[in-house]
Amino acid sequence: MLSLLDRTAALRRGAEIVLRVLGADLAAGANRIAEDDTMEVVAVVGGNTEALNGLLVGPQEGLGGQAAVLRRTAAVDDYCLSRAITHDFDHAVRAEGLRAVMAAPIVRAHRLYGVLYAARRSAVPWTDGDRTTLLGLARQIAVAMEVADSAREMAEVAVFGERQRLAIQLHDSVGATLFSLRVALTSGRAAAEAQADATVELLTDALALTERATSELRAQTYSLHQAPEDKALAVALQGDCRDFSQRTGVAAELVVLGDLPLLDAGRADVLRRTAREALLNVEKHAGAHSVVVSLYSYQGGVGMAVADDGTAGDITLQDERGLGLRVMAERIERVGGQLTCLGNDEGGGTVRAWVPVARAFQPAAP
């Protein structure tokens, strides 16, 4: 499953396994599509996909909505007769002739990705072993969906990073050429005016066109260079990793683990400054061959780790080799975050930072 880099593909693969392992007549996967935990059924195996695909399941609605809210497996022996659930989807369930239905939340680190369903066309009760198996499969799908989210996020960051590179190239090449052309035209017009030359009007028109082209180029390069607010931090850190590699010859990569909550500009800047200082420490002290900078969602905020494979040994916030680490910690603490430094078991060290989003929401434990 870890090789699947698409949410729907991961859900479909999971549904196929449910059908085979649990001997179900139908299996399906629903994808979380809204912050209120609304889900959409997107992968149906063993049944009428037209009748079930696209169903929207809200919080507490039906069996899947109940499993999502409770964050645990829910099951009924006869769906349409059960008093334990709402009956928003009885029409679709009857159309498929389903009776015994079970749903498990697809959850990882308290984050809901969707729901995995198993169904039979007979009222044979689900066993505890069936529940455990479905929940285990749902957890595996959660990992696959997290990987899919990370792959999508990294692809988007790469696109905006390339846009910024293109914007800089256009500015340095075409922009410089237009500037030189404008200077030449201005000088030519001045000379023509001094001699009452008839080409003054032509030069004036050419200069106006050059000014217009320069203005349009400036607007387009600015648009290309601007990353969306939710991608700006990752794009900036990707650039810092690239600059670090070019400067030092040490491989440096950025990894974005899934969707990140939006940070205000101040907290995002603190994380970027922290990453730069950590990279500088690696350059000065670590003797590393590679560095990985990771961004991830964690406890109502954004976490970042800068890990290297060097030989500098344990580094603490009380390290006397410089003020860098203490300054990093102070910056992080000012915005309500935390910073830690520790050595890795396999060598090298890791700097971890975490900052909360404004009015951070701490999800209740399941």
Packing angle between helix 128-172 and helix 200-225, nearest 10 degrees?
160
Q: Are strands 349-356 and 301-308 parallel, antiparallel or unpaired?
A: antiparallel
The per-residue pLDDT for range 315-349, each reduced to its tens digit, is 655 555 556 678 888 889 999 999 988 887 777 88
Amino acid making up residue 36: D
Looking at residues 85-98, what average pLDDT do you find? 92
Q: Say whether pTM exceeds 0.95.
A: no
Q: Mean pLDDT over all residues of the chain?
A: 84
Distance between start and end Cα atoms, the chain: 25
CB atoms within 10 A of CB 359: 6
DSSP 129-174: HHHHHHHHHHHHHHHHHHHHHHHHHHHHHHHHHHHHHHHHHHHHTH
- Tell me which fold the domain 232-356 belongs to: Heat Shock Protein 90 (3.30.565)
Burial 47-69 (b: 16+ CB within 10 A, else e): beeebbeebebbeebbbbbbbbb
Class of the CATH-defined domain 7-148:
alpha beta
pLDDT higher than threshold 90 for residue 52 = no
* Residues above pLDDT 90, as percent of the chain: 39
User: Please, are residues 46 and 64 in contact by the beta-carbon 8 Å criterion?
Assistant: no
Separation CA 122–CA 363 (nearest Å):
37
Q: Which of 67-76, 219-228, 232-241 has the highest mean pLDDT?
A: 67-76
Instruction: Report residue 105's pLDDT band, with 50, 70 and 90 as the boundaries.
Output: very high
The per-residue pLDDT for range 156-203, each reduced to its tens digit, is 777 777 777 777 877 788 888 888 888 888 888 888 777 776 677 777
Cα 143–chain centre separation:
14
